Amino acid sequence: MQIGPGETLDAAAALEALGLDHRERVRAGLAAALLRREGQRAAFDTVFDLYFPLAVGAPEGVRDLPVDAPAAWREQLAGLRDRLADALAADDRAALARLAAEAVSVLGRYGAPGSASDGWSAHQTLDRLQPQILLARVLAAIRAGQGGGGGQAPGQGQGQGGGQGSAGLRRAGEGFTERIEADEIRDRIEQFRRQVGNEARRRVAELRGTDVIARRAVAASPDQVDFLVAGRDQLAQLRRTVQPLSRKLATRLAARRRRAQHGRIDLRRTLRRSLSTGGVPLRPVYRRRNPGRPELVLLCDVSGSVAGFANFTMLLVQALRDQFSKVRVFAFVNRTDEVTDLVTAGRADPAGLGSRILAEAEVTGWDGSSDYGAALGGFADRFLGAVGPRTSVLILGDARTNGRDPNPAALARIAARARRTYWLNPEPRELWSTGDSVAGEYARQVDMLPCRNVRQLGEIVAKLLPV
């Protein structure tokens, strides 16, 4: 994040104007003064929670867990779960925050107190508490509350007038909204998990020093998340960044086309026009360019190790399809098959794209590991007609051949026919040509670029776009 002295002054002025009485106002004020775009928000919140913690030390009224008394331990865990289920059912934010603090304090401790390796772990807390198993129970509790209030079966859609749920439980029965209840509870549980994470970080920060944790704990913004190590949450977030990215690229493209209009002067037409002004060329005429839209061929490794990456690229290309005159997508693990129809038909469901390709296209032979030599060879033999002088070819994969023949001659055949060929490799440059990677060998044939996150992917695709 770029924060200069100007921002610091703003932040100080903001604090002076706001005072320090309201934590959420301080948060909003600092964010307004320091941040420049929404992507920075998650990192900011993490750091804010560390430096302006809600509480210090262990929450009140929490006793240390007697390690040598399993019965008491079980009892306390059960109690914690009961209260958590109630709080989830009532959607009581304050209670959830309190419970997160308590849970970390009771369940999250590891290492001997006072030793160099002790601390609090969110992972351990959640592992022991298992909040996700409460889903069914919370749902039952909510429905029971409704039954008590309205006394009628759900799903009938009859008006209940002002029917109220019993105390502490949310709202009276409404047939339809029950369908989304499960998702809502899942959401609340997810929120709770995040709170536990924050709390554990806060406690560790008290132990190790805030600066150390702040440096380590801050997550990257979505467009910088590494494809290969992204978690499930991050993948969903990444998918959401792809849609606006395609619009951004399209507007950038429009601007480039507009500028390109003002290119070289068309002398012949300028002179002809000058006839009407007595031979004085008052208004120059610019040479018009043919906006030749290139064709794009995508050749993607969809094997497990790089599937996420291939998915994103396909999504982006799908979104940019109208910028190219023709897009064809081929997928391979160790056999190559065309998946253009699957990619274009699946606009509504980007999440399932990868699994659909694996299920419906013939991309694997007798085993499931990727074989670049066979795949490239297969493509060169069967689909070379897809590549012409106007075609840009994008090959996606980590170039790890599992020890098989890399078959660089096939790649050379493809590259010779295409206008441009790029190989996008989701691995960092240092790892190329290590182990079973033959990246170096392929890089001699075609341009190989590292492409590890959405930002890099956007830059590369922008480069391919026609002017």
Partner 1 sequence: MAAQGEHVTGTGFFTSVDDVSVRLAEVGYLASTAVATTVFLADRLGKPLLVEGPAGVGKTELAKAVAAIGGARLVRLQCYEGVDESRALYEWNHAKQLLRITAGRDESWDEARTDIFSEEFLLPRPLLTAIRGDQPTVLLIDETDKADVEVEGLLLEVLSDFQVTVPELGTITATRRPFVLLTSNATRELSEALRRRCLFLHIDFPDQELEQRIVRLKVPGLDAVLAESLVRVVGALRAMELRKAPSVAETIDWARTLLALGAETLDEAVVRDSLGVILKHQDDVLKAGSKLRLDAVVPAP
Which chain residues interact with partner 1 by CB under 8 A? 2, 4, 6-7, 10, 13-14, 17-18, 22, 24-25, 27-29, 31-33, 35-38, 41, 153, 155-160, 162-163, 171-172, 174-177, 179-180, 183-184, 187, 236, 239-240, 243-244, 247-248, 251-252, 254-255, 347-351
C-beta closer to partner 1: residue 65 or 250: 250
User: Closest approach of Cβ 331 to partner 1, in Å?
Assistant: 23
User: Closest approach of Cβ 322 to partner 1, in Å?
Assistant: 15
Beta-bridged to residue 398, according to DSSP, are none
C-beta closer to partner 1: residue 160 or 305: 160
Can you list the positions of beta strands (E) in 140-279? Answer: none
User: Closest approach of Cβ 239 to partner 1, in Å?
Assistant: 7
C-beta closer to partner 1: residue 154 or 466: 154
* Half-sphere exposure of residue 111: CA atoms within 13 angstroms, side-chain side: 11
Instruction: Give the tokens for residue 66.
Output: 């007697």
Q: Classify 334 as helix, strand or coil.
A: coil
C-beta closer to partner 1: residue 58 or 96: 96
User: Closest approach of Cβ 351 to partner 1, in Å?
Assistant: 8
Contact 59, 101 (CB under 8 A): yes
Question: Do β-strands 295-301 and 336-338 pair in parallel, antiparallel, or remain unpaired?
Answer: unpaired
C-beta closer to partner 1: residue 130 or 158: 158
Instruction: Give the tokens for residue 342.
Output: 């699957």
Q: Which residue has the tokens 């959640």?
A: 126
C-beta closer to partner 1: residue 36 or 63: 36
User: Closest approach of Cβ 216 to partner 1, in Å?
Assistant: 26
C-beta closer to partner 1: residue 179 or 444: 179
Residue type at 337?
D
User: Closest approach of Cβ 293 to partner 1, in Å?
Assistant: 21
d(CA 168, CA 83) in angstroms, rounded, equals 12
User: Closest approach of Cβ 228 to partner 1, in Å?
Assistant: 22
Sequence-distant contacts of 287-291: CB under 8 A, at least 24 apart: 287/263, 288/261, 289/260, 289/261, 289/263, 289/467, 291/257, 291/466, 291/467
C-beta closer to partner 1: residue 14 or 88: 14
d(CA 420, CA 423) in angstroms, rounded, equals 10
d(CA 112, CA 129) in angstroms, rounded, equals 21
C-beta closer to partner 1: residue 41 or 63: 41
Q: Is 356 exposed, middle or buried (0-12, 13-18, 19+ CB in 10 A)?
A: middle
d(CA 52, CA 54) in angstroms, rounded, equals 7
User: Closest approach of Cβ 224 to partner 1, in Å?
Assistant: 15
Q: Classify 332 as helix, strand or coil.
A: strand
Q: Which residue has the tokens 């069914």?
A: 136
Q: Which residue has the tokens 């977030």?
A: 237
User: Closest approach of Cβ 36 to partner 1, in Å?
Assistant: 4
User: Closest approach of Cβ 157 to partner 1, in Å?
Assistant: 3
d(CA 380, CA 387) in angstroms, rounded, equals 9
* Half-sphere exposure of residue 307: CA atoms within 13 angstroms, side-chain side: 18
> Read out DSSP for 327-390?
EEEEEESSSEEE-HHHHHHTTT-GGGHHHHHHHHS----SSSS--HHHHHHHHHHHSGGG--TT
C-beta closer to partner 1: residue 4 or 389: 4
